[in-house]
Structure 1
């Protein structure tokens, strides 16, 4: 009987220690895609899944919704998905992801990233005054986890500083966090370039 309770206690402890997988939606932009400020405000103003935008250049693109932890596909334009979410017919995206380009092995933002970051800043300015946005740095799995964690933190801070200095957004509204390679979007390939990103969510 004592052995049974010991085993039960260990099973419960293991279950509690296992992180819960929560399905969420992230609107993922690819490099060169147009970021629409109103969509930014819609996503960051919701506080819940992954939208992969197709490779169309500078135009609103169709999004593929992939719930984290599963492989569920659906198509919808970003503005349509946020509109549907307001009507309760679809779960809204809770974050958006940009493929911010940095110099190799560095937190220096390259000029190619600025167009998307500038549109993102316009979207943040549409949010209610005082609303908080979390800037998350993510890397792929190349290199040591400790190194990538520090790199992701530095890159999140660099993006925050860009939004503050170039767009006058109050630094107190922008929290930063780095996750290194621990939260890949493409979990079947931890080295995939899509995992190198900066993600934004309303706090």
Structure 2
């Protein structure tokens, strides 16, 4: 059964983290190994009723709608000033305001429980986006090649793509931007790498979980994280 990790509120405390694994420094085999460990940890947490699991801290995240984590169903990220629609496939312009178009989902008020992995178990990738943009530039696409290769070789059924930002900008703005960027990475993996859409779900957490807690505006905090849920 696919792990969803969307439950009622869970009290827990965020602790400091050491530098996590940068995707650029990992081979495809190392990415696969990290994902296998992640999958086992998430399975143990699910089997124990979301009890404490070594290598994983479960954190209740308020204000993130559970529907945002739904597996990708024809998601498109567009540049437009119009209201979003589920069929809008307008090419993105990095210089225009961003909106996301998603399939209709059922919303819930239950907070999402995010599984924060220990730094040595995380798989992160720094992707450079334009200012106020979620458009994936051509020169950044090769940075996703290892992820694409690893996903094709992996038996993981469900990946979570998590967008993170630094603290520049408001909380609301950063969360919105992180959602759109996670969706854009998922779109690329589906459309350009031929990854099955149902294997991917996206989540934007804004500035909540900085990689470098000593410098919340550091470049490394602007990243995309890949989790192997099941």
TM-score (norm 1): 0.63
Give 2:159's aligned residue.
133
Give 1:52's aligned residue.
none
| Bigger fraction of residues in helix | 1
Give 2:127's aligned residue.
100
Unaligned runs of 5+ in 2: 1-9, 42-54, 56-117
How many angstroms does 1:163 deviate by? 0.2
C-alpha distance 92-103 of structure 1, shift in aligned 2 (>3 A) = closer
- Could you tell me how far apart the structure 1 residues matched to 2:14 and 2:212 are? 18
Give 1:41's aligned residue.
32
How many angstroms does 1:25 deviate by? 7.6
How many angstroms does 1:93 deviate by? 3.6
Give 2:195's aligned residue.
169
Superposition RMSD in Å:
2.8
Q: Deviations over 1:49-101 (max 9, x none)?
A: xxxxxxxxxxxxxxxxxx9xxxxxxxxxxxxxxxxxxxxxxx99432111111
Q: Kindly indicate whether the alpha-carbon contact (under 8 Å) linking 1:25 and 1:95 is maintained by their aligned counterparts in 2.
A: no
C-alpha distance 94-179 of structure 1, shift in aligned 2 (>3 A) = same
C-alpha distance 191-173 of structure 1, shift in aligned 2 (>3 A) = same
How many residues end up aligned between the 2 structures? 145
C-alpha distance 148-28 of structure 1, shift in aligned 2 (>3 A) = same
- Could you tell me how far apart the structure 2 residues matched to 1:141 and 1:95 are? 21
Higher RCO (C-alpha under 8 Å, 6+ residues apart): 2
C-alpha distance 163-188 of structure 1, shift in aligned 2 (>3 A) = same
C-alpha distance 132-26 of structure 1, shift in aligned 2 (>3 A) = farther
C-alpha distance 26-92 of structure 1, shift in aligned 2 (>3 A) = closer
| Paired residues for 1:60-75 under 5 Å | none
Unaligned runs of 5+ in 1: 1-15, 49-66, 68-90
Give 2:142's aligned residue.
115
